[in-house]
Structure 1
């Protein structure tokens, strides 16, 4: 017994010495590393790197810029099934331990002792948060000790729910996705709460090794990891047998999903990004979570997208088939080294349904077609397809999903071969006139089914503004941003053609002319020693119509009348008025060619000028950014652009609008002149080159067509009091379009305005004081005789209303005008061209 007692005594001494030694070592570590530890309190307000996000004015996402895709969520927003899955995968005892898991650390130590290298760190979720937020990723003992100490401190000042939220928002999950909400978007294109148990388990398997268990790159390995987690959840009684069975049988549905924009507006997003970068000038622009709210209206942008894309596709079809993208592509390639992932061995093990494979559906191997289609780009709604059957009037194609689609004959007949801008080849007799099996073509969705299509070579631009303050409601810079990022809406410029004529006419109205004034539409010759030959401008019809009232000349877009008007009032006066409504005078040629729109202007320029006409004569500033907020909602910038206030006194400089004090837009035009111009531009639609817009059946719309030399550029700019829209259609490298503005551009404007004004009451400009209506003789512009047949009503400024003996032209309309450059001749289609 004495011997036994002595042994117990000595063992006790040794144990106490060991514990004491360990305590001394532990205390030494704490004393040494303690001063090096970061402040744990910073985790309470830690700023995660989140991208710059851009929204419409109604808070719908249109763009995101940043290296990391991240959408932080609160603990309450985390699905319970995901919490269970991550516990099963990473830290089963998370809610019961104090920050470290002794068993896990002991297991890691044994593995290290046996193998001589670190195999697992025994890290809890708390320790991972400590490492991810406050430490480096170096695998050293010093870092591990710091990790343990920080984890112990974290558990004292943060709740388990706080720690879990920090964890799920920080972890990297592959494909630029940081945090679980971003991963839901990247892998499944869904909101986090929409994911199934199997999908949540798949994401829960990613933190261990995002590249190794990536379901897109390594679907087999990802499947094994996912099913192991589901098995663990079942073994831990987190899920029942039915849930387990359903989850492990669910096929892999993960594929890469780009940014899920709520509104497609990439041209706007890039414009805003550049402006914010210039305005903010901050290094953390793409990481601090700034939120930019624009003036863009989500409905307006969506409608504009469809209108311009449909308009350009319609133009392209009118001019014929230019040929497929590739020919005679074999459906499969034997003995290829590269296997398509969908048809790789073991597809059933991955849960991929054979019904999605086209070769099982029709009994042929089309793996090479599918490979080609997945590499072929889609543009807007136009999608690639490969011809699988071309016979007589039967056309069948296969898309990238392996679906076979029948294209009806009536959706093919447009495709007579392109010859020139004004001539197509003979009508099709069979689909084999243009395509054969194995050709890569493009298709587009129709109201019913699909139709043959092609990527248009023609380009276009669209801008819509609020005339009340110049806010951009919708903007497109081309057919497809990802095809060509050049923004035609505001970069560069194209000859404006007749859309500029209203500013010439308003200058004349400001200088004594009336809508009834007669100007001679007759030939004129300009001699200039700098030109090789004399310049003889003409109307696009080649005809001349003699003395013509200004109203009639505008809605018929008579070139000679515009030239004579500018000659009468002076080039300088036209430029002065144009500058007052917002045009840059340096972009306006100081010669008579300006009367025909030789100035190279952007659609944004034109829309801004028309906004002044639409709002009654007030100059507004086009702008895109409404405000910029920090990630916490602090307003860092608030736009304060001028706003129209027709009820304000002349002395009023600022006004409160929507809770924001803003400067009052300056009045730059006589409202009576603007009222007369409204009525003249309404006649462009009622009687002239814009008559296609009669389909809208509204009396409050007005506008002007424009077509330049050889029909290189087609325009339409129009408005009512609440909305302005400008459309340009043409080729990037100027060449003939073969169409006038009333045919190429106006339909886009009609589609947009029709959708935006549907169900809204008409909004006409109120007649201002000092306007009178007089019955006149349409042939002379003079006051009509009592009882005269054919007399018409015209509006005048009161002091310029005709008297019985008055002459309506205040200046001579004869003579020659030297100095007109021949290359600046701009034509406008006659009314007859726009009536069909």
Structure 2
């Protein structure tokens, strides 16, 4: 017996020692783990990642950027039954335990002992899952599990149950880049949380366990089994009745992808916004839920997109069918689903759908299969523009493009245009971007030709050269010779500029030279005023001097400029001479609606001088002894100076200058020069190279066509109403657009289609001569006088005394063979 007592005593001592060692080990483990645990209080200030939202000026959604979809919600925004669905499958005792469910933990420990695996179901409460999602890795280790339990207990002490559940519902991953239950409801069902049906709620609750392999899109059968189990659990727990659960289980699985509905898509502008936001706020700009409001008018943007697509399609159809995109190898017995697989990875471009030819018929028709597996017919007339029927152009396996016709279920054969285009439309008075298109299809090519492509503007650059000449004393009535001229540099190289189409018209007024786009007149005029003077002057329109060629070829538009910069330059003419900066982000708000930035653009003001950047009344104008007095007070009428005050056009009230704290755009050119060029470019539309724009029926529409050598670039830049708009058409590989593809043929139709929509309801923009101008009359021989007789023209008063009736304004004509340093 004593031996048994000794054995029992030593056994108890050993157990006590082991217990003490275990307690010490657990205490040390607790100390080590607890010292590494983060501060739970930071969860109250947790910022969920949200995408960047881009909106048009009227609030319509243009784009969403971000790796994850997430729309954080408060617990009050989550329907009771949706909460119960998650509780039923994840943690039915959530509102009873203190962070750790010891019954569930005990079951999990037993399973680990009996199976020998650490990966066992159950045991983790919703609180533990939140701890793991925010602070821990998903690795399966006992130390991590203990840390998770300790964090869960601390979280329960720091946060309320509803706060923890809200964190879980907003943080959980639901597959397909959807984070949080609100984003999941939108993606899988296209609904808000309060619109979900019971079966949909149960389906969502089953996703977080298997977000990629078990969501209702990737594996609907597995998702259905889990949904039905959740519904049974909800009935078992009394959340729903057995009849409600049965009815929900009878609903077929019907989830499908739902992207956020874009109400005003403008992908090129949206990408500009994304890049600008990252430049301002860093890479986190696309994860902090910023809301950006742009200056884009969605109606004008839609019109611009349509005009570019229609214009490029019209251009492309003029040059005929250029073949299928490629031919896929398909078996003779391949069904439609197999054929559709050949279209994988081919994106929709604009309204052109990828399709693969399934069969052709003797009547000239063809059948094609779309990417979704549908088979559609192409009637014999579906390729009328190509002067052939589809069967003559296609064979089985060809990959082509089709688009919807005007009739229901009608499809037409088409092709992606080889040409590209850019359109930029600015508010001429503020520089606000109203519409921008950077190419035929952003999906096909993300290169933004409106802001990144540098192309030669051709004759559309001439108004800037004319403005420089008018600063030197030329005017619309000045006579310049349109005749052959040869320039030779110091190395003996010669340059003989030509008019488009050849021919020469002798002495002609500058107004007529611009209307008819005479190249030699521009060259002679630039030679007269000097290249360096012109380069310095033209930079006032916003161009970089390095962009402007330091030789006479500049007069023909050989500078490499972006469509955006050209539109900015034309805005100077349209607004009366002020240089405005293009801008497109009006307002930025954070996720809570607080304004982070609000644009305050500098505005053009025809009647303003500026002191310290503020608008003030204009000072008295004294020019060559003529005192025109101070500019009128806001709203007060002002008649044009000189003769215009007596028999000029009817005067109108001068617009009031901006408020005293408004930013005023700097003056780029004399307002009188702007008036003269606007008047001349209106004539370009009325009777020159832009006459097609007369169809708009507006007297305030003006502009200038532009074409380059071998028809590589076609332009039309102009204005109407409050807008300055530029259109460019060309090919990315700099190949020719084709025979006689001038600016008036390739670019102007796009400009017209856009401006027809943009100018609807807009008042006619006035172009009254400003103070400091005198009306003169030019007869048929070119003689000018201030008395009646001949064509009326407004000139600057200081130019009046210098006017001479001479073929050469600045003296004897230079010898054509003289050498000039022009290169």
TM-score, length of structure 1 as denominator length: 0.82
SS at match of 1:444: strand
Q: For the residues of structure 1 that align with 2:768 and 2:169, how far apart are their CA atoms?
A: 59
Offset, 1:168: 1.4
Q: For the residues of structure 2 that align with 1:28 and 1:317, how far apart are their CA atoms?
A: 80
Task: Indicate the residue corresponding to 2:432 in structure 1.
Answer: 471
- Structure 2 CA distance for partners of 1:745 and 1:818, relative to 1, 3 Å: farther
- Structure 2 CA distance for partners of 1:818 and 1:403, relative to 1, 3 Å: farther
SS at match of 2:395: coil
Contact in 2 for aligned 1:75/1:164 (Cα 8 Å)? yes
Contact in 2 for aligned 1:568/1:813 (Cα 8 Å)? no
Which sections of structure 1, spanning at least 5 residues, go unmatched?
1-18, 335-364, 416-426, 825-836
Q: For the residues of structure 1 that align with 2:367 and 2:192, how far apart are their CA atoms?
A: 36
Contact in 2 for aligned 1:514/1:808 (Cα 8 Å)? no
Task: Indicate the residue corresponding to 1:359 in structure 2.
Answer: none
Offset, 1:635: 5.0
Task: Indicate the residue corresponding to 1:128 in structure 2.
Answer: 129
What do the CA deviations read for 1:572-601 (whole angstroms, capped 9, x no partner)?
222122111111111111111111101111
Superposed counterparts of 1:532-551, under 5 Å: 534-551=494-511
Q: For the residues of structure 1 that align with 2:245 and 2:695, how far apart are their CA atoms?
A: 60
Contact in 1 for aligned 2:783/2:805 (Cα 8 Å)? no
Offset, 1:164: 2.2
Comparing 387-396 and 754-763, the one that deviates more: 387-396
Aligned residue-pair number: 758
Offset, 1:609: 0.8
Task: Indicate the residue corresponding to 2:274 in structure 1.
Answer: 273
Contact in 2 for aligned 1:304/1:474 (Cα 8 Å)? yes
Offset, 1:503: 0.6
- Structure 2 CA distance for partners of 1:328 and 1:648, relative to 1, 3 Å: closer
- Structure 2 CA distance for partners of 1:481 and 1:521, relative to 1, 3 Å: same
Comparing 44-53 and 456-465, the one that deviates more: 44-53
Task: Indicate the residue corresponding to 1:763 in structure 2.
Answer: 765
Alignment of 1:397 onto 2:356: no
- Structure 2 CA distance for partners of 1:785 and 1:608, relative to 1, 3 Å: closer
Q: For the residues of structure 1 that align with 2:817 and 2:712, how far apart are their CA atoms?
A: 26
Contact in 1 for aligned 2:174/2:211 (Cα 8 Å)? yes
Task: Indicate the residue corresponding to 1:740 in structure 2.
Answer: 742
Task: Indicate the residue corresponding to 1:457 in structure 2.
Answer: 418
Contact in 2 for aligned 1:568/1:812 (Cα 8 Å)? no
Contact in 2 for aligned 1:516/1:808 (Cα 8 Å)? no
SS at match of 1:387: strand
Task: Indicate the residue corresponding to 2:155 in structure 1.
Answer: 154
Task: Indicate the residue corresponding to 2:792 in structure 1.
Answer: 793
Comparing 263-272 and 207-216, the one that deviates more: 263-272
- Structure 2 CA distance for partners of 1:431 and 1:63, relative to 1, 3 Å: closer
SS at match of 2:384: coil
Q: For the residues of structure 2 that align with 1:328 and 1:374, how far apart are their CA atoms?
A: 12
Alignment of 1:555 onto 2:482: no
Offset, 1:800: 4.2
Q: For the residues of structure 2 that align with 1:102 and 1:460, how far apart are their CA atoms?
A: 68
What do the CA deviations read for 1:258-302 (whole angstroms, capped 9, x no partner)?
66544433333333433444444x464444444444443433333
Q: For the residues of structure 2 that align with 1:538 and 1:301, how far apart are their CA atoms?
A: 39
Offset, 1:780: 2.2
Contact in 1 for aligned 2:479/2:809 (Cα 8 Å)? no
SS at match of 1:373: coil
What do the CA deviations read for 1:525-562 (whole angstroms, capped 9, x no partner)?
33346466x43322222222222221122122111111
Task: Indicate the residue corresponding to 1:707 in structure 2.
Answer: 707
Q: For the residues of structure 2 that align with 1:765 and 1:670, how far apart are their CA atoms?
A: 14
What do the CA deviations read for 1:804-826 (whole angstroms, capped 9, x no partner)?
9855863358433867899x9xx
Superposed counterparts of 1:307-706, under 5 Å: 307-327=307-327, 330=330, 365-391=335-361, 392-415=363-386, 427-428=387-388, 430-448=389-407, 449-528=410-489, 530=491, 534-633=494-593, 635-637=595-597, 639=599, 641-651=601-611, 653-654=613-614, 663-706=663-706
Which sections of structure 2, spanning at least 5 residues, go unmatched?
1-18, 617-656
Comparing 158-167 and 606-615, the one that deviates more: 158-167
SS at match of 2:368: strand
Task: Indicate the residue corresponding to 1:731 in structure 2.
Answer: 731
Q: What is the root-mean-square deviation in Å for CA atoms of aligned residues?
A: 3.6
- Structure 2 CA distance for partners of 1:200 and 1:708, relative to 1, 3 Å: farther
- Structure 2 CA distance for partners of 1:71 and 1:812, relative to 1, 3 Å: farther
Comparing 743-752 and 767-776, the one that deviates more: 767-776
- Structure 2 CA distance for partners of 1:793 and 1:648, relative to 1, 3 Å: closer
Q: For the residues of structure 2 that align with 1:688 and 1:150, how far apart are their CA atoms?
A: 79
What do the CA deviations read for 1:701-753 (whole angstroms, capped 9, x no partner)?
22111000111100111123521221111111112112111111112222222
- Structure 2 CA distance for partners of 1:295 and 1:659, relative to 1, 3 Å: farther
Contact in 1 for aligned 2:61/2:264 (Cα 8 Å)? yes
Alignment of 1:179 onto 2:180: yes
Comparing 223-232 and 689-698, the one that deviates more: 223-232
Contact in 1 for aligned 2:456/2:561 (Cα 8 Å)? yes
Contact in 1 for aligned 2:364/2:392 (Cα 8 Å)? no
Superposed counterparts of 1:252-263, under 5 Å: 252-256=253-257, 261-263=262-264
- Structure 2 CA distance for partners of 1:765 and 1:42, relative to 1, 3 Å: farther
Offset, 1:209: 1.9
Contact in 2 for aligned 1:518/1:781 (Cα 8 Å)? no
Task: Indicate the residue corresponding to 1:355 in structure 2.
Answer: none
Q: For the residues of structure 2 that align with 1:234 and 1:178, how far apart are their CA atoms?
A: 28
Q: For the residues of structure 2 that align with 1:494 and 1:804, how far apart are their CA atoms?
A: 37
What do the CA deviations read for 1:66-106 (whole angstroms, capped 9, x no partner)?
44332222223334453233223222333454444344333
Task: Indicate the residue corresponding to 2:650 in structure 1.
Answer: none
Q: For the residues of structure 2 that align with 1:733 and 1:530, how far apart are their CA atoms?
A: 32
Q: For the residues of structure 2 that align with 1:770 and 1:793, how far apart are their CA atoms?
A: 16
Q: For the residues of structure 1 that align with 2:553 and 2:293, how far apart are their CA atoms?
A: 41
Comparing 751-760 and 194-203, the one that deviates more: 194-203
- Structure 2 CA distance for partners of 1:820 and 1:269, relative to 1, 3 Å: farther
Comparing 302-311 and 55-64, the one that deviates more: 55-64
Offset, 1:235: 4.4
Contact in 1 for aligned 2:577/2:606 (Cα 8 Å)? no
- Structure 2 CA distance for partners of 1:578 and 1:403, relative to 1, 3 Å: same
Q: For the residues of structure 2 that align with 1:476 and 1:470, how far apart are their CA atoms?
A: 16
Offset, 1:143: 3.5
Contact in 1 for aligned 2:365/2:391 (Cα 8 Å)? no
SS at match of 1:108: helix
Contact in 1 for aligned 2:423/2:728 (Cα 8 Å)? yes
Alignment of 1:217 onto 2:187: no
Contact in 2 for aligned 1:783/1:802 (Cα 8 Å)? no
SS at match of 1:85: helix
What do the CA deviations read for 1:42-87 (whole angstroms, capped 9, x no partner)?
2211122334444444444444444433222222333445323322
Contact in 2 for aligned 1:464/1:475 (Cα 8 Å)? yes
